[in-house]
């Protein structure tokens, strides 16, 4: 009987899922198959292209000594009350790359009551993402569900027990700063585990699609959580604080629509007050080592803060700058020429066109005598991991923040390495030694 039962499962699992067909979980329910139900924990991490569910931890209810990845079939469904998700990315099967015995948090064990499945992720597999972009809402969390079947036993896991977000979970996500009766800014913050006196502060300002009141969105949408990673924290001695504020809408919002610098935005005063309040509330932060950066919308706001407060920040790191050069006066250029800034941009960025934003500004700063301004200028934004085609794989040209988050920006405008004391440095190595 078990032989025929498993054959039935295999046929059910590996049949195609046309867009107008009922989902695999619905079909299981309709068949009234006597399968045991179990719970699972999702593991969500940020990647260069955005967040993805890259692991699922299954609760077995018994101790086992081995696991076989080929015995598991994983089906995902994605839906949202905020908008419609394309049928091609609303449901489908996830590929299981590997499996191992683990504890409840996904840590490897020799024997255990849990098994962790490692799932394939890539820039072109939207089925792996628990976040969806809607034009009217930006990036939002969606209803992401898995159904996992072990074909050898018929066991099913279809109830989410919890979520683990390895770097995001290290942040305090409850920050709220009330600037006025009508304006409150949410923010996430990270404090080094062994924080010392005079610790630096890294501020990241998100792009246009990550506004709202949930700071997990900017932490994962642009992979900003990576500034709390050991790979980056190591450059800052005992570590650096990380502050990730969130605009209720988008940083470039003006009184009448979007600004590119031609008019004032509605957030910069409140944002600066938040930063100053955070520094005051964390006395171990070194006021001489406060760094501000961001991408696109956040690149605009980073430059705006530097223009408004040129003596406050020790350095800026700005990718995909959205502040138009034509709206920056010569007086403003003179006021910031001594502020260390590292720009990152791609030549094929059609959203924040470099010839209208960063290229002329960089040249004006250099002509004004700026000695510590750098500009990593790429032909394209490519796959820096090598997993998806390397230099032959092109992301949208607007995504130049990838080079900042991964700390791989190392070259100046002419393509030569950036040196400090005769030694080539990356963008984070350079920033870590900047001090007012």
User: Distance between CA atoms of 6 and 13, rounded to whole angstroms?
Assistant: 10
In this structure, what DSSP letter does residue 15 have?
A: S
The two beta strands, 394-395 and 381-382, are: antiparallel
pLDDT value of residue 194: 85
Return the closest-CA partner of residue 49 out of 116, 112, 133.
133
Using DSSP, state whether 196 is helix, strand or coil.
coil
Q: In terms of domains, do 139 and 10 share one?
A: yes
Q: In terms of domains, do 140 and 177 share one?
A: no
Q: In terms of domains, do 189 and 75 share one?
A: no
User: Distance between CA atoms of 426 and 405, rounded to whole angstroms?
Assistant: 11
* Domain end marker among 144, 164, 184: 164
Centroid of chain to Cα 236: 21
* Domain end marker among 164, 185, 219: 164
User: Distance between CA atoms of 291 and 435, rounded to whole angstroms?
Assistant: 9
pLDDT value of residue 28: 52
Please classify residue 421 by burial: count the beta carbons closer than 10 Å to its beta carbon, then call 0-12 exposed, 13-18 middle and 19+ buried: exposed
Q: In terms of domains, do 408 and 375 share one?
A: yes
Predicted confidence pLDDT, tens digits, the chain (436 residues): 444 334 334 334 443 344 434 455 555 544 444 456 799 999 999 999 999 999 999 999 999 999 999 999 999 999 999 999 999 999 999 999 999 999 999 999 999 899 999 999 999 999 999 999 998 899 999 999 999 999 999 999 999 999 999 999 999 999 999 999 999 999 999 999 888 789 999 999 999 999 999 999 999 998 999 999 999 999 999 999 999 999 999 999 999 999 999 999 999 999 999 999 999 999 999 999 999 999 999 999 999 999 999 999 999 999 999 999 999 999 999 999 999 999 999 999 999 999 999 999 999 999 999 999 999 999 999 999 999 999 999 999 999 999 999 999 999 999 999 999 999 999 999 999 999 9
Q: The domain containing residue 113 runs over which residues?
A: 2-164
Q: In terms of domains, do 138 and 175 share one?
A: no
Q: In terms of domains, do 219 and 72 share one?
A: no
User: Distance between CA atoms of 324 and 34, rounded to whole angstroms?
Assistant: 63
* Domain end marker among 135, 164, 193: 164
- Could you tell me the CATH number of the domain that includes residue 226? 3.40.50.1820
Q: In terms of domains, do 214 and 333 share one?
A: yes
User: Distance between CA atoms of 117 and 54, rounded to whole angstroms?
Assistant: 8
344 contacts: CB under 8 Å, gap ≥ 6: 317, 318, 319, 320, 375, 376, 378, 400, 401, 403, 404, 409, 427
pLDDT value of residue 35: 55
Q: In terms of domains, do 44 and 130 share one?
A: yes
- Could you tell me the CATH number of the domain that includes residue 35? 2.60.40.2180
Q: In terms of domains, do 70 and 16 share one?
A: yes
pTM: 0.92
pLDDT value of residue 34: 45
Q: In terms of domains, do 155 and 192 share one?
A: no
For the chain, the domain total comes to 2
Q: In terms of domains, do 150 and 30 share one?
A: yes
């Amino acid at each position: 009987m078990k032989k025929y039962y498993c054959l039935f499962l295999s046929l059910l699992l590996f049949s195609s899922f046309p867009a107008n067909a009922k989902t695999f979980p619905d079909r299981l329910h309709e068949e009234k198959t006597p399968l045991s139900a179990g719970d699972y924990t999702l593991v969500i991490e940020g990647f260069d292209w955005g967040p993805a569910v890259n692991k699922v931890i299954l609760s077995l209810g018994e101790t086992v000594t081995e696991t076989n990845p080929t015995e598991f079939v994983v089906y995902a469904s994605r839906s949202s009350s905020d908008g419609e998700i394309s049928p091609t990315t609303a449901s489908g099967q996830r590929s299981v790359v590997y499996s191992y015995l683990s504890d409840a948090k996904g840590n490897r064990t020799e024997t255990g009551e849990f098994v962790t499945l490692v799932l394939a992720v890539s820039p072109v597999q939207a089925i792996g993402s628990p976040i969806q972009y809607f034009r009217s809402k930006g990036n939002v969390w969606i209803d992401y569900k898995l159904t996992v079947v072990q074909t050898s036993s018929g066991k099913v896991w279809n109830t989410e027990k919890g979520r683990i977000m390895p770097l995001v979970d290290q942040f305090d996500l409850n920050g709220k700063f009330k600037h006025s009766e009508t304006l409150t800014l949410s923010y996430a913050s990270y404090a080094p585990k062994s924080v010392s006196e005079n610790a630096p502060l890294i501020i990241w300002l998100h792009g246009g699609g990550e506004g709202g009141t949930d700071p997990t969105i900017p932490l994962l949408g642009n992979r900003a959580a990576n500034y709390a990673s050991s790979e980056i924290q190591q450059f800052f001695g005992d570590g650096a604080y990380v502050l990730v504020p969130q605009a209720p809408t988008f940083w470039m919002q003006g009184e009448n629509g979007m600004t590119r610098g031609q008019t004032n935005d509605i957030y910069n005063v409140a944002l600066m007050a938040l930063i100053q309040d955070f520094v005051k509330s964390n006395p171990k932060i070194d006021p001489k080592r406060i760094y501000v950066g961001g991408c696109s919308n956040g690149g605009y706001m980073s430059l705006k803060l530097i223009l408004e407060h040129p003596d406050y920040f020790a350095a800026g790191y700005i990718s995909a700058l959205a502040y138009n050069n034509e709206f920056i006066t010569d007086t403003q250029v003179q006021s910031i020429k001594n502020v260390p800034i590292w720009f990152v941009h791609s030549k094929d960025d059609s959203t924040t066109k470099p010839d209208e934003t960063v290229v002329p500004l960089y040249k004006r700063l250099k002509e004004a005598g700026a000695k510590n301004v750098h500009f990593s200028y790429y032909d394209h934004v490519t796959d820096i991991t090598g997993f998806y085609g390397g230099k032959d794989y092109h992301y949208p040209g607007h995504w130049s923040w990838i080079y900042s988050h991964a700390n791989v920006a190392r070259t100046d405008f002419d393509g030569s390495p950036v040196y400090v004391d005769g030694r080539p440095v990356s963008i984070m190595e350079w920033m870590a030694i900047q001090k007012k």
